[in-house]
Structure 1
Amino acid sequence: MNMEMRNGTLEDVEGMMQIINRARNKLAASGSPQWSDEDTPKEEDIRREVEKGNNYLFTINEQIIGTAIITNEEEPAYSSIRYGDWDTSQEDNYATIHKFAINPDINGKGYGKMFMKLLLFMCEEKGIKEIRIDTHPKNRAMQHVILSAGFKFKGIIQLPFENGERYAYQLFLT
C-alpha cells in the first residue's frame, strides 16, 4: 500500500469534487447542515486554491481519498468569537485548514486522523506555528479528528450565512 500526501493539480479537481460531494451527502444524512447551501465547496473555489498551491490530497495507491485546503490568509469570521477566545500569546499569523474531506466510503479506518497528522507535519516543516480550524456543531466525525490531532476548542464563530455557526479550534505546533 502506497500512501502519499501531495499538492492537488487541476487534473485532480474532478476527483476532489467527487469526494466533497459524497462527504456533503453524508453530512446531510447525519443531520448536519454544513456544506448544504451557501457554504458548499464550489469547483471554481477549489480550482483557485489548487492554482495558489493551497490544496493537498491524501492518496492511497494513487487514488484520492482525502482533500483539504490550507491558507495563511486571515479568516474574517475568526475576528469575532463567542463563548471563548483565541490564544494570541504566541503568534500573530496563523494558517487555517478548510474543506477537509475524506471519502466517506472508507470512513472509520483512521484515514482522517492520518491525513490531519500529515497536514500538521507539513505545516510544521514550513515553519507554521499556529493552525486554526472550524466545523459545524453537528459534524461529530470532524470534531473527533480535530480533537484527536491535539486542537483545543476556543469558542464559536459565525460564518456569514444561514447555519454558519461553527466550533472553532486552535493548535500551536512546537
Structure 2
Amino acid sequence: MSRFAIRPATAADLPALAQIYQKARAFMAATGNPRQWGTTNPPWETLEQDIARGQLFVLCAGGTPHAAFALVPGADPTYAVIEGDWKSDAPYAAIHRLASDGTRRGVFAAVLAFAAARQPHLRIDTHADNHVMQTLIARAGFGYCGIIRLADGSPRLAYERLPANI
C-alpha cells in the first residue's frame, strides 16, 4: 500500500502546486537540468487545463500535497512523430509534468503504480539533461524508444513500458 493518497487536483490546490513546481525547478537546476522547465514551466494555464480535464493528480501525505503529475490518456500529439520506434501502437497513457517538493521518497513508484493500474501501457519523456528522471524511468522498466519533439521543437528522450499482454 502506498504511503500517499493520490487524488485529482482541484483549483484549491493551485497554491500548493505552484510551490511544488517551484521546488522541482530548483532541484532540476541544482542537478544539472536548468533548461527543461526553466523558471516558469509548466505554465499556470496548463495546470488549470489539466485540472479541468481531470488529468492532474496530487500525491498527499497527511492531507498535504507533496507531488503532482498529469496522467494523459489516449494518443498524445507530441508522440505522433518519433525519431526512433515505439514498441507498440496499442492504446496508452502518458505521464507528464511529474514534480515533487522533495520532502518525500517513493513519489515515482507511487505515480507509476497509480498510472499502471489505470493504463498498463505507459509512455513518458524527459530532457536529455534530466539524469535523475532517466535513472528512475530505466529502473521502472521503461525502454528507450527515441526522440520526440515538443510543439516548440525541443527534443525529449521518449520511453515506453508495455504490459505483459502486448
TM-score (norm 1): 0.82
1:6-60 C-alpha deviation (Å, 9 max, x unpaired): 11111111111211111112212222110117x8111121111111111111111
**Structure-2 residue corresponding to 1:120:** 116
Structure 2 CA distance for aligned equivalents of residues 144 and 64 of structure 1: 24
Letter of the structure 1 residue corresponding to residue 88 of structure 2: T
Q: Evaluate the alpha carbon distance shift between residue 137 and residue 6 of structure 1 in structure 2; reply closer, same or farther with a 3 A threshold.
A: same
Structure 2: stretches of 5+ with no match in the other structure: none
Q: Is this contact kept in 1: 2:23–2:100, CA < 8 A?
A: no
Cα deviation digits, residues 111-165 of structure 1 (max 9, x gap): 32233222322x2xxxx34211100011111112222222111111122336x22
Counterpart residue identity of residue 155, structure 2: E
Residue 35 of structure 1: SS of its match in structure 2?
coil
Match of 1:101 among 99, 102, 117: 99
Q: Distance in 2 between matches of 1:102 and 1:66?
A: 4
- Taking the aligned partners of 2:108 and 2:88, their CA distance within structure 1 comes to 28
Report the alpha carbon displacement of residue 2 of structure 1 after superposing the two structures with TM. 5.6
Alpha-carbon separation, structure 2, partners of 1:74 and 1:156: 17
Equivalent residue letter for 2:92: Y
The aligned amino acid for 2:109 is K
The equivalent of 1:158 in structure 2 is 149
Q: Flag the 1:116–1:88 CA change in 2: closer, same or farther, 3 A.
A: closer
Q: Which runs of 5+ in 1 are unaligned?
A: none
How far does the alpha carbon of each residue in 1:54-81 deviate from its partner, in whole angstroms, 9 at most, with x for none?
1111111111111000112422232222
Q: Percent identity?
A: 28
Cα RMSD between the aligned structures? 2.2
> What's the CA shift string for 1:70-123, capped at 9, x where partnerless?
1124222322222x200236x1x221111011112x26x3332233222322x2
Name the residue aligned to 2:107.
111
> What's the counterpart of residue 17 of structure 2?
16
How many residues get paired?
A: 162
CA distance in 2, matches of 1:3, 1:29: 26
Q: 1:173 to 1:17 in 2, by over 3 A?
A: farther
Q: After TM superposition, which residue ranges in structure 1, 4 or more long, deviate above 3 angstroms?
A: none
